């Protein structure tokens, strides 16, 4: 059975072009890019090209790009550097719906380091309460971190507007753009962000490579202290193979952006329309008007998300409930909870996240699998009677 992969917000297939680009550097060209000899220099040249390719995706300069080990490291490095810049300031701000890489870090800073944390709430469509965000800012606020796009619902936050309001008060602004990259245009200059995180494995590069954009001139304190790599902003010999792959992936992401916003969006919209039409008591989570083009979070009343996923899995369909990081726990995700999604549909929520590798035939196979699956689960559900939720 051929697998249908619709879990691209969890991780993506490494593009064949990316593998081709990396392979020689995994084998033959193993030099250290910092070495004086020509053999290492060849690798160094390729790493420089990759830095340029990454910068081009987000309209940055190459020396504003710091390679890290993952999106999580980028998020942590950004916040710790910001706190180091303002050691006397003890207030930090974020949203209630961040990825654990920010959410858990902020909770840790509150619990272990005594920071005063504002977790800005969202409304039932996942839209940020901007008045509350701006109202929370004081002369004690060191940093605001708000994601560009939500990994579970795909909801987009108005990062440009927030950044302007935050930075004009002398407060640092970081955004986690891991899910936005390759799906919506990112321009760090127009958005005027201080720091921005990316992750390779969400954009068809391998796992274990991340990026932190650090605005030129911004004071930056390294998180990993060691050698002079990354201009002293992150010690440790570069993951040259993954960096080279990420460069290629960024070049492809830029080329494929129009495709994601036409073909992929059409597939997502088709899947959504068909499911809403064919399955009663189903609802879309998030803001349909302002959402990533590839993401569909959809709740089915009176069934369990985990059961849906198991049955889809038997048909070779990979989707997700909540986020991969929260599965294994029985609570609905903190994102759906923050949106006050009613428990009856939050529990039965699953996420499809598509890529340009998906096809219409795959969407039809998902629909053909899911419609009878929900019907069957509802026949067994104590919360469903005579075609209605009880």
Ligand X SMILES: *Cc1c(COP(=O)(O)O)cnc(C)c1O
Residues annotated as part of the active site: 325
Instruction: Count Cα neighbours of 109 within 13 Å in the Cβ-side half-sphere.
Output: 25
214 near ligand X, judged by CB under 6 A: no
Q: Please state the closest distance from residue 70 (CB atom) to ligand X, in A.
A: 3
Among 210, 286, 293, 332, binds ligand X (CB under 6 A): 210
Q: Which one of 4, 54, 83, 101 is in contact with ligand X (CB under 6 A)?
A: 101
Of 89 and 99, which CB lies nearer to ligand X in the complex structure?
A: 99
Residue 176 or 230: the one with the smaller Cβ distance to ligand X is 176
Within positions 54 to 73, which residues make up the interface with ligand X, using CB under 6 A? 70-72
Pairing of strands 295-300, 282-284: antiparallel
- In the Cβ-directed half-sphere of 6, how many Cα atoms lie within 13 Å? 33
- Smallest gap from Cβ 314 to ligand X, in A, equals 26
- 202 is an interface residue for ligand X by CB under 6 A: yes
47 vs 105, beta carbon nearer ligand X:
105
Cβ closest to ligand X, residue 150 vs residue 163: 150
Of residues 30 through 59, those in contact with ligand X by CB under 6 A are: none
Task: Examine residue 99 and tell whether it contacts ligand X (CB under 6 A).
Answer: yes
Is the distance from CB of 370 to CB of 348 less than 8 angstroms? no
Shortest Å distance, C-beta 384 to ligand X: 33
Nearer to ligand X, 201 or 347 (CB): 201
Q: How far is the CB of 147 from ligand X (least distance, A)?
A: 6
CB of 207 within 8 A of CB of 200? yes
Q: Count interface residues toward ligand X (CB under 6 A).
A: 14
- Residue 322 binding ligand X, by CB under 6 A: no
Give the per-residue contact string, 147-186, with ligand X (x = CB under 6 A; - = no).
Answer: x---x------------------------x-xx-------
Q: Which is nearer to ligand X, 202 or 215 (CB)?
A: 202
Interacting positions 256-315 with ligand X (CB under 6 A): none
Residue 307 CB, shortest distance to ligand X, in Å, is 25
Contacts to ligand X from residues 323-382, by CB under 6 A: none
Q: What 3 state SS string does the chain have?
A: CCCEECECCCCCCCCHHHHHHHHHHHCCCCCCCCCCCHHHHHHHHHHHHHHHHHHHHHCCCHHHEEEECCHHHHHHHHHHHHHHHCCCCCEEEEECCCCHHHHHHHHHHHHHHCCEEEEECECCCCCECHHHHHHHCCCCEEEEECCCECCCCCEECCHHHHHHHHHCCCCEEEEECCCCCCCCCCCHHHHCCCEEEEEHHHCCCCCCCEEEEECCCCCCCCCCCCCCHHHHCCCCCCCHHHHHHHHHHHHHHHHHHHHHHHHHHHHHHHHHHHHHHHCCCEEECCCCCCECCCEEEEEECCCCHHHHHHHHHHCCEECECCCCCCCCCCCCCHHHHHCCCCHHHHCCEEEEECCCCCCHHHHHHHHHHHHHHHHHHHHHCCCEECCEEC
Closer CB to ligand X, residue 95 or residue 307?
95
Q: Which of 199, 229, 345, 381 binds ligand X (CB under 6 A)?
A: 199
**Which of 97, 76, 58, 26 has its CA nearest to residue 286?**
97
Closest approach of ligand X to the CB of residue 98, in Å: 7
Residue nearest to ligand X according to CB distances in the complex: 71
Q: Please report how close the Cβ of residue 9 comes to ligand X at its closest, in angstroms.
A: 6
Write the interaction track for ligand X spanning residues 222-261; mark x where CB under 6 A is met and - where it is not.
----------------------------------------
Residues in touch with ligand X (CB under 6 A): 70-72, 99, 101, 147, 151, 176, 178-179, 199, 201-202, 210
């Amino acid at each position: 059975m051929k697998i249908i992969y619709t879990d691209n917000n969890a991780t993506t297939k490494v593009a064949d072009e990316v593998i081709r680009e990396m392979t020689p550097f995994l084998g033959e060209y193993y030099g250290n890019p910092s070495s004086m000899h020509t053999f290492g220099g060849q690798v160094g040249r390729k790493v420089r090209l990759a830095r340029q390719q990454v910068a081009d995706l987000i309209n940055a300069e190459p020396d504003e790009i710091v390679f890290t080990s993952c999106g999580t490291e980028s998020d942590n490095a950004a916040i710790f550097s910001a706190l180091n810049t303002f050691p006397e300031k003890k207030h930090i701000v974020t949203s209630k719906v961040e990825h654990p890489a920010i959410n858990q870090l902020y909770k840790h800073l509150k619990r272990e380091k005594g920071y005063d944390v504002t977790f800005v709430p969202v409304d039932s469509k996942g839209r940020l309460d901007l008045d509350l965000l701006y109202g929370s800012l004081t002369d004690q606020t060191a940093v605001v971190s708000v994601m560009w796009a939500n990994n579970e619902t795909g909801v987009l936050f108005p990062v440009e507007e927030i950044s302007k309001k935050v930075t004009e008060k002398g407060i640092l602004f970081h955004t986690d753009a891991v899910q936005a990259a390759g799906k919506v245009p990112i321009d760090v200059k127009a958005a005027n962000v201080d720091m921005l995180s990316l992750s390779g494995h969400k954009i068809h590069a391998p796992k274990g490579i991340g990026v932190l954009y650090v605005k030129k001139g911004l004071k930056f304190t390294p998180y990993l202290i060691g050698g002079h790599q990354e201009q002293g902003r992150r010690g440790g010999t570069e993951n040259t193979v993954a960096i080279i792959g990420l460069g290629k992936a960024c070049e492809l992401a830029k080329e494929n952006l129009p495709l994601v916003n036409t073909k992929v969006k059409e597939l997502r919209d088709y899947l959504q329309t068909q499911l809403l039409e064919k399955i009663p008591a189903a609802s879309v989570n998030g803001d349909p008007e302002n959402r990533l083009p590839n993401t569909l979070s959809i709740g089915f009343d009176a069934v369990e998300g985990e059961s849906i996923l198991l049955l889809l899995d038997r048909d070779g369909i990979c989707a997700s409930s909540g986020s991969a990081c929260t599965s294994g726990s029985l609570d609905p995700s903190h994102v759906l909870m923050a949106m006050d999604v009613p428990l009856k549909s939050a529990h039965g929520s699953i996420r499809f996240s598509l890529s340009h590798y998906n096809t219409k035939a795959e969407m039809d196979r998902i629909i053909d699998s899911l419609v009878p699956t929900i019907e069957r689960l509802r026949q067994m559900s104590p919360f469903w009677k005579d075609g209605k939720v009880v």
